[in-house]
Amino acid sequence: MRSGRKPLLSKLATNDGHAENSPYFDGWKAYERDPFHPTRNADGVIQMGLAENQLCFDMIEEWLINNPQASICTAQGLGMFKDTAIFQDYHGLPEFRNAVAKFMGRVRGNRAKFDPDRIVMSGGATGAHELISFCLADPGDTFLVPTPYYPGFDRDVCWRTGVQLLPVVCDSSNGFMVTRNALESAYENAKAANTPVKGLLITNPSNPLGTVLDKETLRDILSFVNEKNIHLVSDEIYSATVFNDKPRFTGVSEIIEEDQTLCNPNLVHVIYSLSKDLGFPGFRVGIVYSYNDEVVGCARKMSSFGLVSSQTQHLVASLLSDDVFVEKFLSESARRLENRHRIFTDNLDQVGIKCLQRNAGLFQLMDLSHLLRDKTFEAEMELWKVIIDEVKLNISPGSSFHSSEPGWFRVCIANMDDQTVDVALRRIRAFVSRSEGAMAASAKKKRCWQNQNRKLRVSLSYRRMEELMMMPPLSPIPQSPLLRAQT
């Protein structure tokens, strides 16, 4: 029997569920084509769309030099090579789990304690989100997620799992706080649409907002999920990027340890990773931490599909077991993040750009609504293209984060050196004064000229975008020097 017209590949392989056709990645493509370099390409596009933490590598490199045994390939560590290389137990190295559990507690000022036996490995937070979705939900089930949210969730939570995300709309009228009303309303919408809600996904500290949830809101959230008997997945991957106590970071763990009657712990799960707090996205260290024993058991079996390299487990275990280093690192990292934050907010403020008040994350949310031609997402995209093409900054438009209000842009500020910060701020200042200068002209003439100019600029921008679309698919990650290196 011949196969006839049976499709060659699966639906998953050919659909858009990977979410990479979103404009979120177009900016990265612009960067790939023309990456900024302080000496070799001073006019290039500066990458401000990638939430990396590059502020503390010097501290880690120094630690590595002083701790050669952390690598199983140095003379000091070679004795561990064989045992580590054959270790593929999905429980993970005990010392790895112990060190990560201790670190997570430390990051929360020891106000919560983590059990190493509940630590489950995954392929980065990306893998962790997919894994927890597979454990908690079936195809067709829904997770509620407050907007704006990290675009990667569309892929991580939904693509291969068949789970859907339904937004809980939050807006700037109250600083994007997650209200009980918004939660109830989203839940009712889902019910009415016959899409059973299985859980709520929160990111705390938030990406893209950079804010932390206050205790009251968290208690509200926990009581909400308990009442509806749905799961709570709390993505806390930015927990160590909180740089001051205004307000202090509170994770869900602290609350449920404090008040054991508030929520059934079987509904509570935490996602963690070392990619943001330590700046190690390349090492793929993701963690699923669940208070539900059955979930731990299932997740552990599933973790086979994305275990952390034992070589990396060994390194991380050594690093995070060094209490003196960890203390030093956490306080210095917070100091540097706060410093970078202040530089940006002060400078942006001077040119009339307000940012959402925050005390965490690796990025700012800028309010550029006053620069929009009108309060529409089309206008937001137009402005974004101008910023990429003319200002040469790859920043992320709020629409890519499913924001309900146009005009917000996320700009990453911890992934560059001080020199590049200067250049970026200079360009922003220049752009704002150009825009303001243009706006000072008479209204009618101005509108006419602007329309023509804008159309020209926009059409130029669109053409360039189209050219970029024709390029072979690139990873949504900026070009690393390693791509050009010879071994």
Partner 1 sequence: MGILSKKATCNSHGQDSSYFLGWQEYEKNPYHESLNPSGIIQMGLAENQLSFDLLESWIAQNPDAAGFKRDGQSIFRELALFQDYHGLPAFKEALVEFMSEIRGKRVGFDPRNIVLTAGATSANEALMFCLAEAGDAILIPTPYYPGFDRDLKWRTGAEIVPIQCTSSNGFKITASALEEAYATAHRQNLRVKAVLVTNPSNPLGTTMSEDELNLLVTFVISKGIHLVSDEIYSGTVFSSPSFKSIVEVLSERPDCRQSASDVWDRVHIVYSLSKDLGLPGFRVGAIYSSNRAVVEAATKMSSFGLVSSQTQYFLSAMLSDKKFTGHYIAENRRRLGQRHESLVRGLREAGIRCLDSNAGLFCWVDMRHLLKSNTFEAEIELWKKIVYEVRLNISPGSSCHCTEPGWFRVCFANMTEETLGLSMRRIKEFVAAYSGAASTPSCGGCGGDEMRNHRHHSKGSSGKNKFLNKWVFRLSPSHRREADDR
Task: Tell me whether residue 291 is one of the annotated catalytic residues.
Answer: no
444 near partner 1 (CB under 8 A): no
Binding partner 1 (rule: CB under 8 A), the pick from 223, 244, 266, 347 is 266
71 near partner 1 (CB under 8 A): yes
* Residue 299 burial class via C-beta count within 10 angstroms: exposed 0-12, middle 13-18, buried 19 and up: buried
Q: Which is nearer to partner 1, 104 or 278 (CB)?
A: 278
Longest dimension (CA), the chain: 78
Q: Which is nearer to partner 1, 210 or 279 (CB)?
A: 279
Binding partner 1 (rule: CB under 8 A), the pick from 100, 120, 135, 287 is 135
| Nearest partner of 371 among 454, 466, 456, judged by Cα | 454
Q: Cα–Cα distance between 320 and 478 in angstroms, integer?
A: 28
List the x/- string, 12-41, binding to partner 1 by CB under 8 A: xxx---x-x---------------------
Binding partner 1 (rule: CB under 8 A), the pick from 87, 223, 377, 421 is 87
Binding partner 1 (rule: CB under 8 A), the pick from 172, 217, 264, 347 is 264
Residue 477 CB, shortest distance to partner 1, in Å, is: 5
Is 163 in contact with 157 (CB distance < 8 Å)? yes
- Number of chain residues interacting with partner 1 (CB under 8 A): 94
Could you tell me which stretch among 97-105, 131-139, 239-247, 332-340 binds partner 1 (CB under 8 A)?
131-139
289 near partner 1 (CB under 8 A): no
Residue 468 CB, shortest distance to partner 1, in Å, is: 17
For residue 74, give the 3-state DSSP assignment. coil
Is 233 in contact with 202 (CB distance < 8 Å)? yes
**Cα four-point dihedral sign 380, 382, 383, 388:** positive
473 near partner 1 (CB under 8 A): yes
For residue 160, give the 3-state DSSP assignment. coil
Residue 311 CB, shortest distance to partner 1, in Å, is: 5
Task: Tell me whether residue 237 is one of the annotated catalytic residues.
Answer: yes
Binding partner 1 (rule: CB under 8 A), the pick from 27, 49, 123, 265 is 123
Q: Cα–Cα distance between 229 and 198 in angstroms, integer?
A: 8
Is 129 in contact with 275 (CB distance < 8 Å)? no
475 near partner 1 (CB under 8 A): yes
Q: Which is nearer to partner 1, 86 or 192 (CB)?
A: 86
Residue 197 CB, shortest distance to partner 1, in Å, is: 7
Task: Tell me whether residue 276 is one of the annotated catalytic residues.
Answer: yes
Task: Tell me whether residue 29 is one of the annotated catalytic residues.
Answer: no
What per-residue string of b and e applies to 96-116 under the rule 16 or more CB within 10 Å gives b? bbbbbbbbbebbbeebbebeb
Catalytic residue among 24, 150, 238, 289: 150
Residue 130 CB, shortest distance to partner 1, in Å, is: 5
The strand pair at 408-412 and 164-168 is best described as: unpaired
Binding partner 1 (rule: CB under 8 A), the pick from 311, 369, 394, 399 is 311
Give the list of residues 6+ apart from residue 148 with CB closer than 8 angstroms, or none. 170, 176, 208, 209, 398, 401, 402, 403, 404, 408
Catalytic residue among 46, 119, 202, 237: 237
H or E stretch including 328? Answer: helix 323-350
Residue 230 CB, shortest distance to partner 1, in Å, is: 5
Binding partner 1 (rule: CB under 8 A), the pick from 155, 269, 340, 392 is 155
H or E stretch including 426? Answer: helix 418-439
194 near partner 1 (CB under 8 A): no
251 near partner 1 (CB under 8 A): no
Residue 282 CB, shortest distance to partner 1, in Å, is: 3
Omega into 167 within 30° of 0, i.e. cis?
A: no
CB count within 10 Å of CB 329 equals: 22
Give the list of residues 6+ apart from residue 176 with CB closer than 8 angstroms, or none. 146, 148, 170, 206, 209, 211, 356
Catalytic residue among 141, 154, 156, 235: 235
Cross-strand bridge partners of residue 235: 203, 271
281 near partner 1 (CB under 8 A): yes
Catalytic residue among 29, 102, 276, 385: 276
Helix segments in 145-292, DSSP class H: 152-156, 180-192, 215-228, 252-258
Residue 424 CB, shortest distance to partner 1, in Å, is: 19
6 near partner 1 (CB under 8 A): yes
Residue 284 CB, shortest distance to partner 1, in Å, is: 5
Q: Cα–Cα distance between 100 and 466 in angstroms, integer?
A: 45
Binding partner 1 (rule: CB under 8 A), the pick from 21, 78, 113, 459 is 78
Q: Which of residues 199-238 bind partner 1 (CB under 8 A)?
A: 228-231
449 near partner 1 (CB under 8 A): no
Active site residues: 150, 235, 237, 276
